[in-house]
Amino acid sequence: MKKRKDKLWFVLFTFPLLFIFTTVVIMPFIFGIAYSFVKWDGIPANPKVFVGLDNFIQLFKDERFLSSAWHTVKFTVMAVISVNVLGLAFSLFVTTKLRVRNVARTLFFMPNLIGGLILGYIWQFIFTDVFGYLGQSTGLDGIFFNWLLDPQYALYAIVIVFTWQVAGYTMIIYIAGLQGIPDELVEAAKVDGANVWHRLTKITLPLLMPAFTICLFLTLSGAFKIYDVNLSMTRGGPNNATEMFAMNIYNEIFAYGNYGLGQAKAVIFFLVVAAFTLTQVVMTKKREVQY
């Protein structure tokens, strides 16, 4: 009797969320895999034709897709490094005894609350207009020109904006990690004659590994899935030079109406994101040390 009642409570408590979750995540995921084997233009009246693995063969011959994958990899490598270097540097700065540390922390974190789309528009103004002005007035037009019109520099511009957005976020996580390191350890090393650099590289950084695991995971998956900043900064231009994974998928499906092919790309996208992030977590977890 009691058991049956418990079961009823279980269903009552969990069913609403699980129902919504199933219709929003699980069903689309399963249907998504099915759609990737189909050729369809998205118009309900038109037939969905089963084509087997054709979409997957086709996407590996799609040069625009492959180059968007390559842009994403380049972008991700640059972004992960710059976000984490800057975030870590910020966190070391604001955990010192400096009086301005609280103000600095507040300011460093601020951009993270503003959405990628709006950040991208602010920076679009800076790269097109302010940079033009700076180039003219300083004569340094080798640095200050419209970055968004240059295929190479446009990608760097997105790296800068992404770093600006996310560095403060990783800073918060690194701060939490730094505060978790017992003072005695650092003090003991000081007594033993270790200088600032040694204390940092031999004690602080190894003990920060758990924070690295989290930050690398968040920045890796965030950079790989970048869309909003990409859209508002360049829309993939110039000449598709900055079109990244997520945008290529969006365009294939909703701009060109190749629903099956686009969904096959989306499935590959999922596999790549999962493989990269899981590998990273396993690798960095191994290097976490105990004290």
Partner 1 sequence: MRKTSMLLLEILLLVLAVIFLSPIYMMVVNSFKNRAELYENALALPTSFSFQFYKEAMQKMNFFTAIGNSLYVTIVSVLIVIVLASMTAWMLVRTDNKLSKIIFMTLVATMLIPFQTLMMPLMQVMDWIRTNLHLPMLNTHEGLIYMNVGFASGMAVFLYHGFIKSIPIDLEEAATIDGCSKFGVFWRIVFPMLTNITITVAILNVISLWNDYLLPSLTLADKGLRTIPLSTFYFFGEFTIVWNQAMAGLTLTIIPVVIFYMLAQKYIIKGIASGAVK
62-91 residues near partner 1, rule: CB under 8 A: none
Nearer to partner 1, 162 or 245 (CB): 245
Q: How far is the CB of 152 from partner 1 (least distance, A)?
A: 22
Q: Which helix (H) or strand (E) holds 209?
A: helix 209-224
Cis upstream peptide for 16 (omega within 30°): no
Nearer to partner 1, 42 or 206 (CB): 42
136-195 residues near partner 1, rule: CB under 8 A: 137, 164, 169, 172-173, 175-176
Nearer to partner 1, 170 or 204 (CB): 170
97-136 residues near partner 1, rule: CB under 8 A: 98-101, 103-118, 121-123, 125-126, 129-130, 133-134
CB atoms within 10 A of CB 116: 20
Q: How far is the CB of 131 from partner 1 (least distance, A)?
A: 9
Distance CA 175, CA 165 (A): 17
Q: How far is the CB of 64 from partner 1 (least distance, A)?
A: 16
Q: How far is the CB of 59 from partner 1 (least distance, A)?
A: 14
Q: What are phi and psi of 189, to 5 degrees?
A: -65, -35
Do the Cβ atoms of 220 and 280 come closer than 8 Å? yes
28-67 residues near partner 1, rule: CB under 8 A: 28-29, 31-32, 35, 44
Asked if 96 is part of the footprint of partner 1 (rule: CB under 8 A), the reply reads yes
Nearer to partner 1, 176 or 188 (CB): 176
Size of the site for partner 1 (CB under 8 A): 87
Distance CA 191, CA 77 (A): 39
Nearer to partner 1, 77 or 278 (CB): 278
Nearer to partner 1, 2 or 61 (CB): 2
Q: How far is the CB of 155 from partner 1 (least distance, A)?
A: 19
Q: How far is the CB of 199 from partner 1 (least distance, A)?
A: 17
Q: What are phi and psi of 17, to 5 degrees?
A: -65, -45
Q: What are phi and psi of 69, to 5 degrees?
A: -65, -40
Q: How far is the CB of 194 from partner 1 (least distance, A)?
A: 19
What pairs with residue 39 in β-bridges? 49
Q: Which helix (H) or strand (E) holds 38?
A: strand 38-39
7-26 residues near partner 1, rule: CB under 8 A: 9-10, 13-14, 16-18, 20-21, 23-26
Distance CA 32, CA 46 (A): 18
Angle, CA 289 vertex, CA 285 and CA 291 arms, to 5°: 150
Q: How far is the CB of 198 from partner 1 (least distance, A)?
A: 19
- Following CA atoms 73, 76, 77, 78 in sequence, which dihedral angle do they give, to the nearest 10 degrees? 120
The region, left, alpha or beta by phi > 0 then psi within -120 to 50, assigned to residue 187 is alpha
220-279 residues near partner 1, rule: CB under 8 A: 221, 224-225, 227-228, 231-232, 245-246, 249-250, 253-254, 259, 262-263, 266-267, 269-270, 273-274, 277-278
Do the Cβ atoms of 256 and 84 come closer than 8 Å? no
